[in-house]
Amino acid sequence: KQEVTQIPAALSVPEGENLVLNCSFTDSAIYNLQWFRQDPGKGLTSLLLIQSSQREQTSGRLNASLDKSSGRSTLYIAASQPGDSATYLCAVFESGGGADGLTFGKGTHLIIQP
């Protein structure tokens, strides 16, 4: 059964710093990996999707990488801002057996200090 782990569980950094969030998964038979953002009490907002054949995707100050063979992904946030404070969730959409939906990590709770 697929397991997705996110490290660290929480992170607090001063505004302006560059930071990296980590995600690992146990079964490399995935269609894609997605990064989401969730604000308190709200739904999820899709940030980036990396297909299994891709190595990275970029959107503005965000860059996500995927190393499928080692079961790892990173989300790089450049020049962090207080508005980036949220919980960041990593999820994989897998091609193996079992339910055909996303398997999520438990998230990294990020606080950017002004």
Partner 1 sequence: DVKVTQSSRYLVKRTGEKVFLECVQDMDHENMFWYRQDPGLGLRLIYFSYDVKMKEKGDIPEGYSVSREKKERFSLILESASTNQTSMYLCASSLGTSRYSDTQYFGPGTRLTVL
For the window 6-45, what string marks contact with partner 1 as x by the rule CB under 8 A? -------------------------xx-x-x----xxxxx
**Pairing state between β 62-67 and 72-77:** antiparallel
80: number of Cβ within 10 Å: 21
96 scored as a contact of partner 1 (CB under 8 A): no
Distance CA 86, CA 95 (A): 29
What is the dihedral angle through the alpha carbons of 99, 38, 14, 21, rounded to the nearest 10 degrees?
Answer: 10
69 scored as a contact of partner 1 (CB under 8 A): no
Q: Encoding tokens for residue 99?
A: 């339910």
The region of 18-26, 58-66, 68-76, 92-100 touching partner 1 under the rule CB under 8 A is 92-100
Find the shortest distance in angstroms from Cβ 67 to partner 1: 17
Choice between 37 and 112, CB closer to partner 1: 37
Distance CA 55, CA 66 (A): 5
Distance CA 59, CA 62 (A): 5
Choice between 36 and 80, CB closer to partner 1: 36
Where along the sequence are the contacts to partner 1 (CB under 8 A)?
31-32, 34, 36, 41-46, 49, 51-53, 89, 91, 93, 95, 98-107
